[in-house]
């Protein structure tokens, strides 16, 4: 069946981006962040392409982790957010590394592990100042480690945190010191535990922020927070929309919804709209998007028109961020890998 939207994914650029990250991150482990359908690039396709390059994968949903296992991905998969209890049995059975942010999270994991008679590997999430998820204090962390030490079914195999704003060096330095302080207790408990603080933005802050591993998402897909190292990375996704027809010589007639007059010599209608994850906000001179149809200036006689090759351009136009563009614009598309 034909598809009106095509997302073309360059595996060459994807792998080159991953290797560029590895060169910046020196000898640390590289976790590829493939949550949210690999930022819209396709969970399974991206993970297969990166399999030989990375050390493991990070997801945020139990379904994503299990889909990777079913697809044959046998490297470490870290679930970045604590799992709901209903998902724990399947996750533990499939050797997914779990995240705990509280005593109750850990007790839930121990309860299921005890029933399965199977060990679970766990990373502890530490709150170092972003104040989203994670343990806040030495006392809370010590309680977690004490509980884990009494269970034969738990291995604390890592700990991590998130930098709230890598561009703010003072804020990041404060988070770094907090992470060092808390993670000392993790290393004393398990010297082989994997510590990771930095995602894409943190890599630019230098070796002090690298620790044992980095978690990289947006850089893999060709974009850099705050334009750090932007020249090293190439966008991975291009989006094409199927043409419908050409309208010539509108001469001030209306086009699509609304009462805006249009004077372009030619426009081409394409099968693309806000239902495909593209945004009405930010359009000023162009005709607005409909749900399934929009227009582009000029006469295009080919079957498909290129509508995005750089998400940064669209993000600026629509007053949003690259992440939102990438995770939206493939929602009804056919993804192909080249």
CATH code 2.40.37.10 region(s) in the chain: 237-337
- Threshold 0.75, pTM exceeds: yes
DSSP, residue by residue, 86-147? HHHHHHHHTTPBEEE-SHHHHHHHHHHHHHHT--EEEEEEB-SSS-SSSB-SHHHHHHHHHH
Give the pLDDT confidence score for residue 1 in this predicted structure: 61
87-140 pLDDT, tens digit each? 999 999 999 999 999 999 999 999 999 999 999 999 999 999 889 999 999 999
Give the pLDDT confidence score for residue 284 in this predicted structure: 58
CB 118 within 8 A of CB 93: yes
Class of domain 11-223: alpha beta
Round the CA-based radius of gyration of the chain to a whole number and report it. 23
Give the pLDDT confidence score for residue 319 in this predicted structure: 85
Q: How confident is the model at residue 238 (pLDDT cuts 50, 70, 90)?
A: very high
Q: Kind of pairing, strands 120-125 and 304-308?
A: unpaired
Q: Among 93-97, 191-195, 260-264, 322-326, which stretch is predicted with the lowest mean pLDDT?
A: 260-264
200-227 pLDDT, tens digit each? 989 988 899 999 999 999 999 999 887 6
CATH code 3.20.20.10 region(s) in the chain: 11-223
Mean pLDDT of the chain: 92
pLDDT at 186 over 70: yes
CATH of domain 237-337: 2.40.37.10
280-328 pLDDT, tens digit each? 776 655 677 889 998 888 898 889 999 999 999 888 888 889 999 999 9
Tokens at 88, concatenated: 């724990």
Give the pLDDT confidence score for residue 285 in this predicted structure: 56
């Amino acid at each position: 069946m034909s598809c009106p939207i095509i997302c073309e994914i360059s595996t060459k650029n994807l792998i080159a981006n991953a290797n560029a990250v590895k060169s910046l991150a020196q000898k640390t482990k590289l976790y590829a962040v493939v949550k949210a359908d690999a930022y819209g690039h396709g969970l399974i396709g991206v993970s297969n392409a990166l399999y030989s390059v990375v050390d493991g994968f990070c997801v945020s949903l139990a379904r994503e982790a299990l889909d990777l296992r079913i697809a044959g991905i046998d490297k470490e998969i870290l679930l970045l957010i604590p799992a709901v209890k209903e998902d724990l049995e399947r996750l533990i059975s499939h050797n997914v590394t779990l995240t705990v942010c509280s005593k109750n999270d850990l007790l839930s994991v121990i309860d299921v592990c005890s029933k399965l008679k199977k060990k679970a590997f766990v990373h502890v999430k530490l709150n170092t100042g972003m104040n989203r998820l994670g343990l806040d204090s030495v006392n809370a962390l010590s309680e977690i480690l004490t509980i884990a030490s009494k269970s034969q079914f738990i291995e604390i195999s890592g700990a991590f945190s998130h930098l709230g704003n890598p561009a703010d060096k003072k804020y990041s330095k404060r988070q770094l010191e907090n992470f060092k302080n808390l993670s000392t207790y993790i290393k004393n408990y398990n010297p082989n535990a994997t510590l990771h603080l930095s995602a894409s933005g943190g890599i630019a802050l230098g070796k002090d922020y690298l620790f044992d591993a980095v978690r990289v998402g947006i850089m893999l897909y060709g974009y850099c927070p705050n334009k750090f190292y932007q020249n090293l990375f190439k966008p991975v996704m291009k989006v094409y929309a199927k043409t419908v027809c050409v309208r010539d010589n509108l001469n001030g007639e209306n086009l699509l919804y609304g009462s805006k007059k249009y004077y372009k010599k030619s426009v081409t209608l394409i099968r693309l709209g806000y239902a495909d994850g593209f945004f009405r906000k930010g359009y000023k001179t162009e005709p607005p998007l409909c749900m399934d149809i929009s227009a582009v200036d000029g006469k295009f006689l080919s079957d498909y028109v290129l509508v995005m090759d750089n998400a940064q351009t669209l993000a600026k136009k629509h007053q949003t961020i690259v992440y939102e563009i990438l995770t939206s614009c493939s929602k009804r598309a056919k993804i192909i890998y080249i």
